[in-house]
Structure 1
Amino acid sequence: MKGQFLSNILLTFVWVALTGSFAFLNFLFGFAIAFVILWVINIKREDTKYFKIVPKIIAFFFFFSYELIKANIQVAYDVITPKFYMTPGIVKVPLDVKTDIGITLLANLISLTPGTLSLDVSDDKKVLYVHSMYISDKEKFIKSIKKGFEARLLEILR
């Protein structure tokens, strides 16, 4: 997988050098072209993990961006209006992710989203404690984390 990623980066730089444009969109376009070329070359090989993970990472980036914008708007609206709509609380979120890196990534992604903060992980690493400014329904909040961040993160880490 590392070799395929490095090949993709190398082909991207070849593309940028051939076109002579160092614009960010040209890098993205070169990366996409290199990805497709490598995918076509490796289509019959068994080691296709790289070609499954890259689209999931890109989809996760867009999902996280959407969640980030949505949370920013919610917090900003609550700050600029005279009435507070906050219903703060601390929730125990059971974890399906088992690795230290997975738990760390999940906790940081939750903390990066405005209005939520990861507080602690239980000693047995089965529960993540999360503070949120907006908990109208505890089960709905837990489900949003489990089916949102955690499920997508598990797809990438597997």
Structure 2
Amino acid sequence: MIRQFLMNLLLSFIWVALTGSMYYSNFVFGFMLGFFILWIMNRNETDQRYFYRVPKIISFIFYFLLEMIKANLQVAYDVITPKYFFKPGVVRYPLNAKTEFEINLLSTFISLTPGTLILDISEDNKTIYIHVMYLNDPDEFVRNLKTGVERRLLEILR
């Protein structure tokens, strides 16, 4: 998988060198073109993990950016208006993530979202305690986190 990623980067840089324009959009186009070329060349190989993970990683990045923008807008609206809309609370979040790396990455992404803060991780690594600034329904918050960030992150890592 690392070999395919490095080959894809090499093909992207070759594309940039051949076109002679070092722009971000040109590099991204070269990366997509290299991804397509590698996919065609490796269709019959048994190890196809790279070709499944790259679209999932891109999808996760866009999903997380959208969630972060929504949370930022919610916090900004609450700061600008004279009335406070927040309802703080602490949520006990049961984990599907098993390894320390998965738990650490998940808690980092949760903390990056405005309005949430990781308070503690249980000793058995099965529960995270999260402080939420806008907590209307704890069950809905847990459900959204499970089906959103955690599910997508575990699909990439496993």
- Give the TM-score normalised by structure 2: 0.99
How far apart, in 2, do the equivalents of 1:33 and 1:119 lie? 43
The answer on 1:132 being equivalent to 2:151 is: no
| Secondary structure class of the residue paired with 2:103 | helix
Residues 47-58 of structure 1 mapped to structure 2, 5 A cutoff: 47-58=47-58
In structure 2, the residue matched to 1:35 is: 35
How far apart, in 2, do the equivalents of 1:19 and 1:121 lie? 50
Offset from partner CA, 1:32-63 (integer Å, 9 cap, x none): 00000000000111110000000000000000
Offset from partner CA, 1:117-156 (integer Å, 9 cap, x none): 1111111000011111011101001111111110001110
Q: Which amino acid aligns with 2:120?
A: D
Q: Which amino acid aligns with 2:151?
A: A
The answer on 1:74 being equivalent to 2:74 is: yes
In structure 1, the residue matched to 2:149 is: 149
The answer on 1:25 being equivalent to 2:25 is: yes
- Give the TM-score normalised by structure 1: 0.99
How far apart, in 2, do the equivalents of 1:37 and 1:90 lie? 48
In structure 2, the residue matched to 1:102 is: 102
How far apart, in 2, do the equivalents of 1:71 and 1:23 lie? 31
How far the C-alpha of 1:104 sits from its partner, in A, is 0.8
Q: Which amino acid aligns with 1:67?
A: E
In structure 1, the residue matched to 2:119 is: 119
In structure 2, the residue matched to 1:86 is: 86
Spell out structure 1 runs of 4+ moving beyond 4 A. none
How far the C-alpha of 1:65 sits from its partner, in A, is 0.6
How far apart, in 2, do the equivalents of 1:15 and 1:56 lie? 24
Q: Percent identity?
A: 57
How far the C-alpha of 1:21 sits from its partner, in A, is 0.7
